[in-house]
Structure 1
Amino acid sequence: MSVHFHPLPAAEVSAIRANRIDAYGNPVERAICDGPGHPCRACLTETAAGQPFLTLAHRPFEGQNAFTETGPIYLCESCAGTPPSADLPAILSAPTYIVRGYSSNERIVYGTGQVTPTAEISTYAATLLARDNIAFVDVRSASNNCFLCRIKPA
């Protein structure tokens, strides 16, 4: 099975940039990158030194239940985003990440979460997505547990 890495949806990113309110109802923070970059969830690259970026609490789920985690993310203030791709995103440059499967009702499927070497993320995600009870896979920081991107079947 082929997989695609998905950034945050463009409409969602546009709404965040327009209303400047995060998942908790707090104002989005704006700063200038002093390098090294911050991983943008819209373009899936790191912000360049001197580039403005946003920091906010975000919940990458449509509904809410006990499994819909909220955490900090970064967005470039004005990047164009990126389409889903089979290529490993540039923001995934650490040695390992937490990779975890979710059901169609946005609940963690127990036993799927594991710290995964970066080079094995696509293979592990494909294995998970081949299961009938897995709708999507999220990639999170192994050190901070921050949401980075979503993986879906290609």
Structure 2
Amino acid sequence: MTALRFLALDTETARRYQAGGLDANGQTPERQISGGGGVPCRHCLRQIPEGMPFLILAHRPFPQAQPYAEVGPIFLCADPCERHPESARLPDMFADMDSLIVRGYGHDERIVYGTGGVVEAPAIEARARELLEREDIAFVHLRSARNNCYQGRVERA
């Protein structure tokens, strides 16, 4: 059975954005104040508490622009936060969601057609494992089922 590794946004990228670095659209991240739930930080993988500042920015979780390198909005704590540790289990923040899009990408960092779908939270680990057992799948992205926003990445452990 394929062992999994769930990954939050890396600290170097988070710190660059938190320091005012430009996002994937060349814009400075927007600063907002959290109204409570529904503002998940992609670095610490926690909901940003009510009254706390956070960033909204366009993120491309790929090293280079290409047709399949999706760009979309993400939230981050405005102040430095601790990265969620790599985990063999689905992080609690994702387990608390109803469902996510689970999609496989090839070694060329392009979508592998037929791999994407909306998966209910209890089945996400099994679906990610199933995809990563295929040799043509290099990694899996987790995305919001409602808004298609990038949530995290899954790799072979």
After superposition, the C-alpha distances for 1:60-92 in whole angstroms (9 at most, x for unaligned) are 111221100000000011211222112322332
1:120 aligns with 2:126: no
From 84, 96, 99, give the equivalent of 1:96.
99
Query: Counterpart of 1:124 in 2: which secondary structure?
Result: helix
Match of 1:143 in 2: 146
Amino acid at match of 2:112: V
Amino acid at match of 1:81: R
Query: Counterpart of 1:91 in 2: which secondary structure?
Result: helix
1:110 aligns with 2:113: yes
TM-score normalized with structure 1 length: 0.95
Distance 1:139 1:91 in 2: 12
The answer for unaligned runs of 5 or more in structure 1 is: none
Is residue 37–residue 48 contact of structure 1 (8 Å, CA) maintained in 2?
A: no
1:24 aligns with 2:22: no
TM-score normalized with structure 2 length: 0.93
Match of 1:46 in 2: 47
Is residue 32–residue 52 contact of structure 1 (8 Å, CA) maintained in 2?
A: yes
**Greater mean alpha carbon deviation, residues 142-151 or residues 35-44:** 35-44
Q: CA deviation at 1:37?
A: 4.4
Distance 1:44 1:104 in 2: 26
Match of 2:132 in 1: 129
Q: CA deviation at 1:20?
A: 3.4
Structure 1 segments (4+ residues) deviating >2 Å: none
The answer for unaligned runs of 5 or more in structure 2 is: none
Is residue 45–residue 89 contact of structure 1 (8 Å, CA) maintained in 2?
A: no
Amino acid at match of 1:16: Y
Q: Residue 51 and residue 122 in structure 1: after superposition, are their counterparts in 2 closer, same or farther (change >3 A)? A: same
Amino acid at match of 2:31: R
Query: Counterpart of 2:92 in 1: which secondary structure?
Result: coil
Distance 2:31 2:56 in 1: 6
Q: How many positions carry a matched residue from both structures?
A: 154
Is residue 57–residue 72 contact of structure 1 (8 Å, CA) maintained in 2?
A: yes
**Percent of aligned pairs with the same amino acid:** 45
